[in-house]
Chain A
């Protein structure tokens, strides 16, 4: 149950696109299409943004997209907005759940 690997921080200017990576192993990210992404603003509960690698829940902006290649999943946010500034976590779900260490997104 080792944590998935994410960059500690990424940044971008309003209107730009950024990508956050999430690296696991063939036993988690690479072996199943059960990767999710969560957004968490300070002091708030996490919010589901992407599930099953690339699906968006109802109500989530289409500026958020997900993909996977091998043992690495990615979250891309296009047209960055100030309100996107938050922590982002990936997860992989088998019989248990493992999270990434989190990535702090700063909108410059």
Chain B
């Protein structure tokens, strides 16, 4: 069965960096696009970024362009999100999610990132 397991988040100071990872199993990782979606405490879902199956195409939400970078290592079945210049408004649960032909069909359990001094 599909499993997506995000790395532990944590508390990070404003302006600092953090890299999240997501270990995928139960499907052929290299054949599917992957997304990051976040959810601020008590708020709705916000799409962050998507990467194509081969890593050649990446698209970002305007709110994170230039600060967050999505990448993948198909040899290790792992998705990444590099987060730089973090702000308080980046505080959220971050979900790794699998793409399936114009929908998101599987989600990880999420990991909480708190940006605070």
List the interface of chain A (C-beta within 8 A of B).
Answer: 1, 3, 32, 34, 36, 38, 40, 45-48, 51-52, 57, 87, 89, 91, 93, 95-102
Task: Using known A-B contacts A45-B95, A45-B110, A102-B44, determine if residue A95 contacts B59 with beta carbons closer than 8 Å.
Answer: yes
* Interface contact A102-B45, CB-CB below 8 Å: yes
* Interface contact B107-A97, CB-CB below 8 Å: no
Closest CB-CB distance, A43 to chain B, in whole Å?
9
CB < 8 Å neighbour of B62 from A1, A38, A102: A1
What are 22 A-B residue pairs whose CB atoms fall within 8 Å in the complex? A1-B61, A34-B102, A34-B103, A38-B45, A45-B95, A45-B108, A45-B110, A46-B45, A46-B95, A48-B103, A48-B105, A48-B106, A52-B102, A52-B103, A89-B45, A93-B102, A95-B59, A96-B50, A97-B35, A97-B104, A100-B44, A102-B44
List the interface of chain B (C-beta within 8 A of A).
Answer: 35, 37, 44-47, 50, 59-62, 95, 100, 102-110
* Interface contact B103-A36, CB-CB below 8 Å: yes
Task: Using known A-B contacts A89-B45, A99-B45, determine if residue A45 contacts B102 with beta carbons closer than 8 Å.
Answer: no
- B106 proximity list for chain A (CB < 8 A): 48
Closest to A57 in B: B105
- A38 proximity list for chain B (CB < 8 A): 45, 104
* Interface contact A96-B110, CB-CB below 8 Å: no
